[in-house]
Amino acid sequence: MKAAVIEALGRVPVYTDFPEPEAHDGAVIATVEASALTNLTRGLVAGTHYGSSGLTLPGVAGVDGVARLADGRRVYGTAVTPYGMMAERTLLAPGRIVELPDGIDPVLAAAAPNPGVSAWVSLQHAAQVRPEHHVLVLGATGVTGSLAVQLAKSEFGVERVVAVGRDADRLDWLRGLGADTIRLGHDDLAARVAAVHRDRPFDVVIDYLWGEPAEQVLAALGNQGLGAVAHATQFIQVGTMAGPTINLAGGILRSAAVTLRGVGLGSVPMDVLRQANQEFLPRLFAMLADGQLQLATQRQPLADVEQVWTQREPSGTRVVFTP
């Protein structure tokens, strides 16, 4: 069969032949319909993600996606290494299969689970968001950030969400969904966050950027002056699109009741991930199917994987490969 084959970490997958999957230990063979090019998949293949050491090489790229089972059911599932989802056929892990509702576009269904589950875990498990909370999403114009804004409003009923991002058109769209916005590179991020925080303190920050923007936000949450009243703020670190490290002065943490924690593979308990798969994913697919949630996708043929892999997709758009 044809597949996007990882021959070595740090190299772009090659569209070539790979052995057919053979069912074992409860895993089932399925015909792939779509698999998204996520930051997780890119990081694993590049060897820069901490999960890269668990890959079997040579192997097939693509952590998850949409496939059709032998009985005709269309499902979302996770592949069993060395078989990834960027192939004509794959091997799906038992117990990690979710049946899709009728009428949903398989490309959309493949694009949504990775960012959707990440956003839900950050909001539900890590931050324990409630309707009365004041939430800041740092990196809100990206795929996962925009879903976090939408879920905060629709799934958790949060009254006030501030979306921080660089793309002006995406920020306009988020304003239409009821979010307040701050534009990176245009507004004074630290000053704007500090002013909003003084007016109504942030309860939660969901951060997809890290780097300098995170430094500015953390500085704005602290250093509010000797008369400032301590207000607990959960800073949830999810992505590092603006840089892998930050400089953090100890005085910032001493001057603010900020709690730092991360969300990613290895930091989320398995029972939370099972809850996400069993309870949240069916709701996510239903919300996508009836238009409650919006996610931009770009369909690409798997045969073009080598050319598409290194291209930069439009802000807030998820590339999805189809065999």
Query: Tokens representing 197?
Result: 């925080």
Three state DSSP letters for the chain: CEEEEECCCCCCCEEEECCCCCCCCCCEEEEEEEEECCHHHHHHHHCCCCCHHHCCCCEECCCEEEEECCCCCEEEEEECCCCCCCECEEEEEEEEEEECCCCCCHHHHHHCHHHHHHHHHHHHHHCCCCCCCEEEEECCCCHHHHHHHHHHHHCCCCCEEEEEECCHHHHHHHHHCCCEEEECCCCCHHHHHHHHHHHCCCCEEEECCCHHHHHHHHHHHCCCCCCCCCCCEEEEECCCCCCCCCCCCHHHHHCCCEEEEECCCCCCCHHHHHHHHHHHHHHHHHHHHCCCCCCEEEEEEHHHHHHHCCCCCCCCEEEEEEC
**Which residue, 74, 72, 104, 82, is CA-closest to 27?**
82
- How far apart CA 183 and CA 168 sit, in angstroms, is 7
What distance in Å separates the CA atoms of residue 65 and residue 67, rounded to the nearest whole number? Answer: 7
> d(Cα 232, Cα 243) in Å, to the nearest integer?
26
Q: Is the pTM of this model over 0.75?
A: yes
Burial 19-40 (b: 16+ CB within 10 A, else e): eebeeeeebbbbebbbbbbbbb
Which residues partner with 318 through β-bridges? 297
User: What are 40's two structure tokens?
Assistant: 């997780």
pLDDT tens sequence for the chain (323 residues): 999 999 999 899 999 999 999 988 889 999 999 999 998 899 888 888 877 777 888 999 999 999 999 999 999 999 998 999 999 999 998 888 999 998 899 999 999 999 999 999 999 999 999 999 999 999 999 999 999 999 999 999 998 999 999 999 999 999 999 999 999 999 899 999 999 999 999 999 999 999 999 999 999 998 665 456 678 999 999 999 999 999 999 988 888 889 999 998 788 888 888 888 888 999 999 999 988 999 999 999 999 999 999 888 888 899 999 99
Vertex 105 angle, CA 240 and 88, to 5°:
80
Residues in the chain: 323
* pLDDT for the residue 278: 85
